[in-house]
Structure 1
Amino acid sequence: MFGGGGGMNPRKMKQMMKQMGIDVSELDAEEVVIRTADEELVFSDVQVTRMDAQGQETYQVVGEPESRPAGTGTAGAVEAGDDGADEADDDGIPQDDVELVAMRAGASEDAAREALEAADGDLAAAVARLE
């Protein structure tokens, strides 16, 4: 169809895509997780490319995934039907905040929750307290 396009100069290809209104950029992704009903596909050593064509964003993920049973993610088990989004425990700290602080500080969720409680829910102060 394009006749010999396989050997096209990448710079020339980028110029052509820009002329057609297609913007391509690389994302500095550390990890990509794809959750299905049965499993989680975790890409740790991953290359992610974002392509924006006329307002429609498309992401390309390249790498070898590790397959895990659903609900066994690194941030803790998720019960069926519960995505963990913004649910606060008895202490009023949203689970998403606990997971974020734990991930950023490299700490356990219990330690992250204690730091958030001590910092009155301030995410940055909780991370700083744990580092």
Structure 2
Amino acid sequence: MFGGGGGGLDPRKMKQMMKQMGIDVDELDAEEVVITKSDGEQLYFEDPDITVMDARGQETYQVVGEAQSREADAGAVGDASAVEAGADAAAGDDAIPDDDVEIVAQRAGVPEDEAREALEATDGDLANAIQRLE
């Protein structure tokens, strides 16, 4: 699509072009990524390669790795301690994670209480909350 032949673009040139279009690309260091599907099944990636693209405030995450599957009940045992540990921090607002509040507050340049209100008003949609605050 971008280049002639089958070789593709030089990664440096691709990064330079993306920067000119206002897209920042960074690597994210993570130990594990967990995706909980609507049927309760969990997919998890150990030591994934994660690329974050920020296109004018809209972040896109690309996770590369081998997905492993586990049943919802198997994950519930491990999740119980996390729920207990975070119960005090999430008192009263169990739908909005603190990490999301921090992201919205930083991106929109507002205090965390305003970011939380915007997230609650947009049902946890980060992009819409940021847009609402700008």
- Structure 1, unmatched stretches of 5+, are 89-93, 95-131
Structural RMSD (CA): 2.7
Structure with the larger helix share: 2
2:68 alignment counterpart? 66
2:59 to 36, 57, 60: 57
Aligned residues: 85
Secondary structure in 2 matching 1:64: coil
Query: Separation in 1 of the partners of 2:65 and 2:71?
Result: 19
2:19 alignment counterpart? 18
Query: Separation in 2 of the partners of 1:29 and 1:75?
Result: 22
Percent sequence identity over aligned pairs:
64
2:44 alignment counterpart? 42
> Does structure 2 retain, via aligned residues, the 8 Å contact 1:71–1:77?
no
2:113 alignment counterpart? none
Normalising by structure 1, report the TM-score.
0.55
Query: Separation in 2 of the partners of 1:77 and 1:24?
Result: 31
- Structure 2, unmatched stretches of 5+, are 92-134
2:107 alignment counterpart? none
Which is greater in Rg? 1
Normalising by structure 2, report the TM-score.
0.54
